[in-house]
Amino acid sequence: MSGIITIDGSRGEGGGQVLRSSLALSLVTGRPFVIEKIRAGRKKPGLLQQHLTAVLAAADVGSAEVEGAALGSRRLVFRPGPVRSGNYAFRVGTAGSATLVLQTVLPALLLAEGESNLVLEGGTHNPMAPPVDFLEKAYLPLVRRTTTVARPIRTKARRPRPQRISHGQRNSAVKRSRSCHELVSRDHLPWRKCLVA
């Protein structure tokens, strides 16, 4: 594997997606990277709380060494280690998007051995991020076509303000649950939509 990759965070839209995609790809490939000019295209450049949460979540899931993981940071070095399945809980701490944190770590957890469960707390319907409905109705059905993931997102409420989102990922069959309404995707793979009361 070659050396560290340098990424210009001001490229494209110059927002947080450059960072989140870099984290997700680094976890999956095991390649370290340095990103500079993080969110340079935004009014408040650098890491905000939701971006920092994604960095810390990726670091936890990927046993990574990180430099520059602080609010306002415009430069970050990320050196991933082995991805570990397990039970994780991440709290954005603001109305920042919990769904974007999920999209950062889910690809790596899908490739990890064993079962993983995520509990994310943050916004579920933010104007600049995919809402939880998009994940349920578009993103996860596409993921299910290429993997054996079969467990749903569960939300307590659907609002921009902080909420808990749970997502379980397994490499085996879905557990039955009386509290869930079973749905069937277009390719007839069972999945569930559960609202936690």
pTM: 0.77
Give the amino acid at 76. Answer: L
Q: How far is CA 3 from CA 18, 37, 61, in A?
A: 20, 20, 22
Task: Report the topology of domain 85-197.
Answer: UDP-n-acetylglucosamine1-carboxyvinyl-transferase; Chain (3.65.10)
Q: What is the pLDDT of residues 86-100, one digit of tens each?
A: 999 999 988 888 889
Per-block mean pLDDT, blocks of 10 residues, the chain (197 long)? 87 92 96 97 94 97 98 98 93 88 92 87 85 86 73 60 53 30 32 31
Q: How far is CA 100 from CA 10, 86, 156, 165, in A?
A: 19, 19, 17, 12
Q: Is 169 left (phi over 0), alpha (psi -120 to 50) or beta?
A: beta
d(CA 132, CA 102) in angstroms, rounded, equals 10
Percentage above 90 pLDDT, the chain: 47
Could you state, in order of their start, the residue ranges of all structural domains in the chain? 1-82, 85-197
CA–CA distance from 92 to each of 12, 109, 138, 155, 163 (Å)? Answer: 25, 19, 23, 15, 10
Q: What CATH topology corresponds to 1-82?
A: Translation Initiation Factor IF3 (3.30.110)
